């Protein structure tokens, strides 16, 4: 079974929702047969890479919240994160463009390090004092190395803005096609969806339901006029008539 998770590094609910999902997955009897893939979704794709702002300032400016409202939202998110055992800095976090991080996540996917890297990005963004955005590319390289990637691979991707850009865009297009307007968005075997940071119980139910309803395949062949496909099995390979 495959679970795809659309998320953004700048999305607090993605950070919290991942922990809730993982709690359900850890208790799922067939967890060894569940493959998790992270997909890209940018909450703020139009923001320039150079445009880095404190989260609270961004919330007041972009969504017209009062300073107090914005701070209260962060405190609430912090409490929800804490309930999942996650660190969350409710003050002085930065907000910025995450496109390069998504490109690096696609590199990491190819090397089997995607989960390690997204977790490193989340921790850097939500739990650590240092800004994830304000220190430039070398900060991302450092996190990539911590996740098990080679520094030179990460630098190469960062130096070439086209590297994995199409993969990020393809993920985002697919999110739209699947009806995801926000993140986190979880898709199980392309059949069931879970939208948002639902409680672990909901993820447990979704995993069980998707597992139980894995449906038999519909076989496609040449129809009544054609022959079966030639195959090899325990009794040897079909020997075709001489073509």
**Binding residues among 8-67 for a second copy as defined by CB under 8 A:** 8, 10-14, 16-17, 32-33, 43, 59, 62-63
- Of the candidate residues 29, 85, 112, 212, the single one contacting a second copy (CB under 8 A): 112
Q: Which is nearer to a second copy, 159 or 232 (CB)?
A: 232
For tokens 């490193």, name the residue.
120
Q: How many positions of this chain bind a second copy (CB under 8 A)?
A: 81
* Range in contact with a second copy (rule: CB under 8 A) among 96-104, 139-147, 153-161, 166-174: 166-174
Determine, following the binding rule CB under 8 A, whether residue 162 of this chain makes contact with a second copy. no
Report how far apart, in Å, the C-alpha atoms of 241 and of each of 103, 227, 230 are: 50, 11, 11
- Of the candidate residues 18, 95, 185, 200, the single one contacting a second copy (CB under 8 A): 185
- Note whether 149 and 105 are within 8 A (CB): no
- Note whether 7 and 41 are within 8 A (CB): yes
- Of the candidate residues 162, 181, 224, 225, the single one contacting a second copy (CB under 8 A): 181
d(CA 128, CA 87): 8
Q: Which is nearer to a second copy, 69 or 136 (CB)?
A: 69
- Of the candidate residues 92, 110, 128, 135, the single one contacting a second copy (CB under 8 A): 110
Residue 49 CB coordination number (10 Å): 14
Determine, following the binding rule CB under 8 A, whether residue 187 of this chain makes contact with a second copy. yes
What is the SS3 assignment for 184?
Answer: coil
d(CA 19, CA 37): 15
Q: Which of residues 124-153 bind a second copy (CB under 8 A)?
A: none
Q: Which is nearer to a second copy, 45 or 137 (CB)?
A: 45
Of 81, 89, 152, the closest CA to residue 124 belongs to 89
Of 42, 167, 57, the closest CA to residue 98 belongs to 42
Q: Which of residues 65-104 bind a second copy (CB under 8 A)?
A: 69, 72-73, 75-77, 79-80, 83
d(CA 160, CA 137): 12
Q: Which of residues 207-226 bind a second copy (CB under 8 A)?
A: 209, 214-222, 226
- Of the candidate residues 53, 116, 163, 195, the single one contacting a second copy (CB under 8 A): 195
Determine, following the binding rule CB under 8 A, whether residue 184 of this chain makes contact with a second copy. yes
d(CA 64, CA 153): 41
């Amino acid at each position: 079974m495959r679970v795809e998770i659309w998320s953004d590094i700048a999305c607090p609910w993605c950070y919290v929702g991942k922990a809730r999902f993982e709690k359900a997955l850890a208790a799922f009897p067939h967890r060894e047969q569940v493959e998790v893939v992270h997909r890209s979704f940018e909450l703020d794709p139009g923001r320039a890479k150079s445009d880095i702002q404190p989260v609270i300032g961004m919330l007041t400016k972009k969504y017209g919240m009062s300073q107090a409202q914005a701070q209260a939202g962060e405190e609430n998110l912090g409490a929800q994160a804490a309930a999942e055992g996650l660190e969350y800095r409710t003050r002085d976090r930065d907000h910025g463009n995450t496109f390069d991080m998504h490109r690096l996540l696609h590199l990491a996917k190819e090397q089997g390090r995607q989960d390690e890297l997204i977790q490193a990005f989340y921790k850097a963004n939500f739990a650590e004092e240092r800004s994830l955005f304000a220190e430039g590319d070398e900060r991302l390289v450092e996190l990539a190395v911590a996740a098990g990637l080679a520094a030179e691979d990460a630098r190469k991707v960062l130096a070439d803005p086209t590297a994995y850009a199409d993969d990020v865009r393809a993920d985002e297009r697919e999110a739209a096609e699947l009806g995801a307007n926000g993140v986190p968005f979880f898709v199980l075997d392309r059949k069931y969806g879970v939208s948002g940071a639902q409680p672990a119980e909901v993820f447990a139910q979704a995993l069980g339901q998707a597992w139980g309803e894995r449906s038999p395949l519909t076989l496609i062949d040449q129809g009544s006029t054609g022959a079966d496909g030639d195959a090899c099995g325990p009794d040897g390979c079909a020997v075709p008539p001489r073509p």
